[in-house]
A and B are shown apart, each in its own frame.
Chain A
Amino acid sequence: MSAVHVSTNINGDDVEFVCRPDESLLDVLRDRLGMTGSKEGCGTGDCGACSVELDGRLVCSCLVMGAEVGGHKIETIEGMAQGDKLHPLQQKFLEHAALQCGICTPGFLVAARNLLERNNDPTETEVRYWLAGNLCRCTGYDKIVRAVLDTAKDMRKAAAKSSAKKASAKKPAAKKKAAPKKTAKKGARHAA
Chain B
Amino acid sequence: MRYEAPDTIKAAVGLLSKAKGTSRILAGGTDLLVQMRSGMIEPDLVVDIKSIPGMREIVAEKGGFRIGAAVSGAELEEHGKVGKMWPGVVEATNLIGSTQIQGRATMVGNLCNASPAADSVPAMIAAGATARVVGPKRTRDVPVEDIAKAPGKTSLAKGEFVASIFLPKAPARTGSAYLRFIPRTEMDIAVVGAGIAMTLNAKGVITAAKVSLGAVAARALVVEECAKAIIGSTLDDAALDRLAAAASAAAKPISDKRGTVDFRIKVAGVLARRAAVIAYDRARG
Stretch from A81-89, A151-159, A181-189 contacting the other chain: A181-189
A21 to B32, CA, bound (A): 13
Q: Does A57 contact B (CB under 8 A)?
A: yes
A2 to B1, CA, bound (A): 7
Contact code string B26-47 (vs A, CB < 8 Å = 1, else 0): 1011100110111000000010
> Which residues 110-141 of A have a CB within 8 angstroms of B?
111, 114-115, 129-134
Contact of A58 with B180 in the complex, beta carbons under 8 Å: no
Stretch from A42-50, A96-104, A168-176 contacting the other chain: A42-50
A11 to B144, CA, bound (A): 41
A190 to B91, CA, bound (A): 10
Q: Does A145 contact B (CB under 8 A)?
A: no
Contact of A4 with B29 in the complex, beta carbons under 8 Å: no
Q: Which residue in chain B gives the minimum CB-CB distance to A3? A: B3
A19 to B77, CA, bound (A): 33
Chain B positions near chain A (C-beta within 8 angstroms): 1-3, 5, 26, 28-30, 33-34, 36-38, 46, 48, 50, 72, 74, 77-78, 91, 94-95, 97-101, 103-104, 179-181, 185-187, 271, 274, 278
Partner of B186, one of A22, A59, A133: A133
With contact pairs A45-B97, A63-B30 given, residues A21 and B3 touching in the complex (Cβ less than 8 Å): yes
A45 to B31, CA, bound (A): 9
Contact of A68 with B2 in the complex, beta carbons under 8 Å: no
Contact of B181 with A192 in the complex, beta carbons under 8 Å: yes
Q: Main SS of the interface on chain B?
A: mixed
Chain A positions near chain B (C-beta within 8 angstroms): 1-2, 4, 20-22, 24, 43-46, 48, 51, 54, 57-60, 62-65, 67-68, 111, 114-115, 129-134, 180, 182, 185-186, 189-192
Contact of B98 with A64 in the complex, beta carbons under 8 Å: no
A43 to B34, CA, bound (A): 7
With contact pairs A57-B72, A59-B103, A192-B274 given, residues A132 and B187 touching in the complex (Cβ less than 8 Å): yes
Partner of B104, one of A59, A115, A192: A59
With contact pairs A43-B37, A63-B30 given, residues A111 and B100 touching in the complex (Cβ less than 8 Å): yes
Contact of B180 with A132 in the complex, beta carbons under 8 Å: no
Which B residues are CB-close (under 8 A) to A43?
Answer: 37
Q: Which of A24, A65, A129, A130 has the most CB of B within 10 A?
A: A65
Partner of B99, one of A1, A4, A133: A133
Partner of A62, one of B33, B91, B103, B179: B33
A109 to chain B, nearest CB (A): 14
A136 to B278, CA, bound (A): 34
Which A residues are CB-close (under 8 A) to B77?
Answer: 182, 185
Contact of B278 with A58 in the complex, beta carbons under 8 Å: no
Partner of B3, one of A63, A65, A185: A65
Partner of A133, one of B26, B46, B100: B100
Q: Which residue in chain B gives the minimum CB-CB distance to A48? A: B100
Which A residues are CB-close (under 8 A) to B95?
Answer: 189
Contact of A68 with B50 in the complex, beta carbons under 8 Å: yes
Q: Which residue in chain B gives the minimum CB-CB distance to A180? A: B78
Q: Which residue in chain A gives the minimum CB-CB distance to B46? A: A21
Contact of A132 with B29 in the complex, beta carbons under 8 Å: no
Contact of B101 with A191 in the complex, beta carbons under 8 Å: no
A114 to B74, CA, bound (A): 13
